[in-house]
């Protein structure tokens, strides 16, 4: 299936089994033959799919260079992006050339940020290979890196020229990483699609993985088109992320994955929402049950006070106020401003 994303610079998300072999043809329709392409990937993904994507690009007439960095969130740093700049410079890349990111959310975020900032901006195309990247991270134009004191604190909005998602790539994901990606899929059901959530609740949603990825992309597309720069309604996509990012920081970005942290954050958001009388009673328990069904945690050992304090650099802050994302019920979401003191009181 093809999903159109109508941002200032429109692009197409292709979700199709075997689409990885069409990367060259899709790119060739968007860039001139002979263009240089820098294939950026990491040490887990490159051995699995790198040659396949490289062959596809070269078959379409692109001159391909490659940059491979060590896998893991701990390498999502400015120092890694600096090495990407070096590779682009040494290989003579210009603003008319192209970056192709092959991998999960870390690869897309960092490679996209390098493309957004090298020579003040060049095109990039995403080939996401994890569920979290296919269903969420590759769509919307958010790129960036972590800092030691917070997640995704340096970045830029830079839309890709296309996204090519091949659900067959998910078959090589370890079960833990596949389930981790479901954290974002469950989130999409919570904020905007009761039917998707109920299918996950029944355990039936994954029977049609291509459709599940496509539906998640379409949900995110709708929020992105309404608010490209994430200053209003698009913030709803961050349901579970305020406390989730705080937990990732408390864990030093190790041992607790992004999807796991977001899942716990959704349960905490519902706890606060139910206490405030905004979220329907029992909603948090329903979400927790779905998370547990797919092997995701629903609580953490850090105290509520530690979690709230760790939200200090949350990007949804407005002075001392958090624009906290709550749901009234499954599929109905809203932005609810509150102070950290109010959040702590609602959690306690």
Arithmetic mean of pLDDT, 182-198: 94
Q: Among 172, 187, 218, identify where a domain stops.
A: 172
Percent of the chain topping pLDDT 70: 98
Centre a 10 Å sphere on the Cβ of residue 7 and count the other Cβ atoms it contains. 17
Same domain, 145 and 223: no
Question: What is the pLDDT confidence band of residue 34, given thresholds at 50, 70 and 90?
Answer: confident
Nearest to 54 by CA among 43, 73, 40: 40
Question: What is the pLDDT confidence band of residue 125, given thresholds at 50, 70 and 90?
Answer: very high
Same domain, 153 and 295: no
**What DSSP state is assigned to residue 143?**
E
What pLDDT sits at residue 229?
76
Question: What is the pLDDT confidence band of residue 253, given thresholds at 50, 70 and 90?
Answer: confident
Place of tokens 């009673």: 281
Please report, for the domain that includes residue 214, its CATH number.
1.20.1090.10
**DSSP assignment of 278-291, as one string?**
-SPTTHHHHHHHHH
Cβ contact 104:130 at 8 Å: yes
Same domain, 258 and 113: no
Q: Among 149, 172, 195, identify where a domain stops.
A: 172
Q: How many angstroms separate the Cα of 289 from the Cα of each of 165, 211, 292, 330?
A: 29, 23, 5, 13
Same domain, 202 and 150: no
The answer on pLDDT for 43 being more than 70 is yes
What pLDDT sits at residue 255?
87
Alpha helix segments (H runs only) across the chain: 23-28, 51-59, 78-90, 105-117, 131-132, 175-192, 194-202, 209-226, 241-250, 258-276, 283-293, 304-309, 340-347
Q: Among 172, 194, 215, identify where a domain stops.
A: 172
Same domain, 220 and 339: yes
Question: What is the pLDDT confidence band of residue 316, given thresholds at 50, 70 and 90?
Answer: low
Centre a 10 Å sphere on the Cβ of residue 308 and count the other Cβ atoms it contains. 24
The answer on pLDDT for 205 being more than 80 is no
Nearest to 13 by CA among 107, 180, 142, 125: 125
Beta-sheet strand order (sheet of 63-69): 2-5, 11-15, 162-165, 123-128, 98-103, 36-42, 63-69
Same domain, 13 and 147: yes
How many domains are there within the chain? 2
Domain that residue 200 falls in = 175-347
What pLDDT sits at residue 254?
85
Arithmetic mean of pLDDT, 296-318: 86
What pLDDT sits at residue 315?
59
**What DSSP state is assigned to residue 19?**
G
Same domain, 199 and 324: yes
Please report, for the domain that includes residue 51, its CATH number.
3.40.50.1970
Same domain, 301 and 273: yes
Mean of per-residue pLDDT scores for the chain: 92
Question: What is the pLDDT confidence band of residue 267, given thresholds at 50, 70 and 90?
Answer: very high
What pLDDT sits at residue 9?
86
If DSSP codes are grouped into helix, strand and coil, which group holds residue 96? Answer: coil
Centre a 10 Å sphere on the Cβ of residue 96 and count the other Cβ atoms it contains. 12
Arithmetic mean of pLDDT, 74-90: 96
What pLDDT sits at residue 175?
86
Same domain, 128 and 143: yes
Same domain, 237 and 128: no
The answer on pLDDT for 78 being more than 70 is yes
Q: Cβ contacts of residue 192 below 8 Å, gap of 6+?
A: 219, 222, 223, 236, 331, 333
135-180 tens-digit pLDDT: 888 888 999 999 888 788 899 999 999 999 999 999 888 888 888 8
Same domain, 83 and 194: no
The answer on pLDDT for 266 being more than 90 is yes
Cα separation, 243 vs 263, whole angstroms: 10
Same domain, 116 and 187: no
Q: Out of 64-78, 191-205, 311-325, pick the least confident.
A: 311-325
- Which tokens is 162 given? 């296309």
Question: What is the pLDDT confidence band of residue 263, given thresholds at 50, 70 and 90?
Answer: very high
Buried b (16+ CB within 10 A) or exposed e, 15-27: bbeebbebbbebb
The answer on pLDDT for 277 being more than 70 is yes
């Amino acid at each position: 299936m093809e999903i159109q994303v109508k941002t200032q610079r429109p692009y197409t998300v292709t979700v199709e089994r075997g689409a990885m072999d069409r990367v060259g043809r899709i790119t060739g329709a968007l860039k001139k033959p002979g263009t240089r392409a820098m294939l950026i990937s990491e040490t887990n993904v490159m051995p699995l799919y790198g040659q396949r994507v490289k062959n596809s690009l070269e078959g379409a007439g692109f001159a391909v260079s490659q940059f491979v960095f060590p896998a893991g969130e701990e390498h999502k740093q400015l120092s890694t992006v600096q090495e990407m700049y070096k590779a682009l410079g040494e290989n003579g890349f210009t603003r008319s050339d192209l970056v192709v990111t092959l991998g999960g959310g870390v690869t897309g975020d960092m490679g996209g940020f390098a493309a957004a900032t090298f020579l003040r901006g060049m095109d990039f195309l995403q080939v996401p290979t994890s569920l979290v990247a296919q269903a969420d991270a590759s769509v919307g134009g958010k790129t960036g890196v972590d800092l030691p004191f917070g997640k995704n604190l340096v970045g830029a909005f830079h839309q890709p020229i296309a996204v090519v998602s091949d659900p067959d790539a998910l078959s090589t994901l370890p079960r833990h990483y596949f389930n981790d990606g479901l954290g974002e899929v469950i989130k999409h059901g919570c904020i905007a699609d009761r039917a998707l959530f109920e299918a996950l609740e029944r355990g039936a949603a994954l029977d049609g993985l291509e459709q599940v990825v496509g539906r998640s992309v379409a949900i995110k597309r709708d929020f992105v088109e309404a608010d490209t720069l994430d200053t209003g309604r698009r913030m709803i996509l961050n349901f579970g992320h305020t406390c989730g990012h705080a937990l990732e920081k408390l864990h030093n970005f190790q041992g607790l994955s992004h999807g796991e942290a977001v899942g716990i954050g959704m349960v905490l958001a519902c706890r606060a929402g139910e206490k405030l009388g905004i979220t329907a009673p029992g909603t948090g328990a329903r979400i927790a049950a779905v998370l547990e069904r797919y092997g995701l945690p629903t609580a953490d050992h850090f105290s509520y006070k530690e979690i709230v304090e760790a939200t200090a650099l949350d990007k949804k802050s407005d002075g001392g106020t958090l624009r906290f994302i709550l749901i009234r019920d499954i599929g109905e979401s809203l932005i609810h401003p509150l102070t950290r003191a109010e959040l702590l009181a609602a959690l306690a």
